[in-house]
Structures are given as structure tokens and as C-alpha cells.
Structure 1
């Protein structure tokens, strides 16, 4: 009966060691995202709605 109590935490510890090993050996590459002009009108409208400043307006 003791093995039922011990096997759960041991399985979790082993799984975490495997996960850390995989994460260290095979890290994900960083995502390269560049701002495109496709979203520029949407961003200007969002900024106008949030701040109340009309984009491109001179004071």
C-alpha cells in the first residue's frame, strides 16, 4: 500500500525532470515579429478611441 502513496509523487518528479531536460536541450526559437503597415489604420483608430487624440491632427 505504501507504493501507491509514493508512486504518485515519484512520477511527478520524474516527469518534471524530463520536462526540464527537454526544455533546456531543445528551446523554442524566438519569434520575430515586425510591425506591418496593414495594421496601421486599426492601431490609429484604437489609439484615438483610447486617448481622444485624432491621429495626424495638428494642435
Structure 2
């Protein structure tokens, strides 16, 4: 009679049959594949060249916006006057 605990032991399963092993391996594997996809996208579609005069163009846009704000000043004043409650209106 062999009553040792090892006699009733179930043979161990191979490592690839455990779900947690694939969870540990799968996470980094997905990141590696995603990084190669990102690299492929970066090489395939390069960034556009910025305009040589981007600073001057920005200044021109700001001047245009300032002119539009000055043109809207009467409308903003009227809107604010219309939104003022009757008791607080200046006389």
C-alpha cells in the first residue's frame, strides 16, 4: 500500500493550457502589434509641411478677427442692453 500524497496526484497540464498565461502574454503582444501598426501609419502618411510664413499668417488672422470684433461692438452693446432687467436699466 502506497499512501503517499504523490500517488494520487494528477499529472500537471502544459503551460499553454492555463488561461492566465495567455492573459500575461497577450497584453504585451497586443501592444507590440499596435506599435508596429502605428509605425506603419507614421511612415505611410508623413506630416504636412508647415507654411514658411506661419507666424505672419497668424498675425494677419488676428488682425482680421480684431476688425470683426470692432464691427460687432454695436450689436453686442444692444444685446447686453436688451438682456438688462428693467429695474437695473440706466436712466
TM class, shorter-length: 0.5 to 0.7
CA RMSD between the two structures: 2.0
In the alignment, structure 1 segments of 5+ residues that lack a partner are 40-59
Question: Which structure is larger by alpha-carbon Rg, 1 or 2?
Answer: 2
Alignment size in residue pairs:
39
Stretches of structure 2 lacking an aligned partner (at least 5 in a row): 1-19, 61-91
Higher relative contact order (CA 8 A, sep 6+): 1
Deviations 1:18-55 (A, max 9, x none): 0000000111111114142848xxxxxxxxxxxxxxxx
Where in structure 1 do 4 or more consecutive aligned residues deviate above 4 Å? none
Give the TM-score normalised by structure 2: 0.38
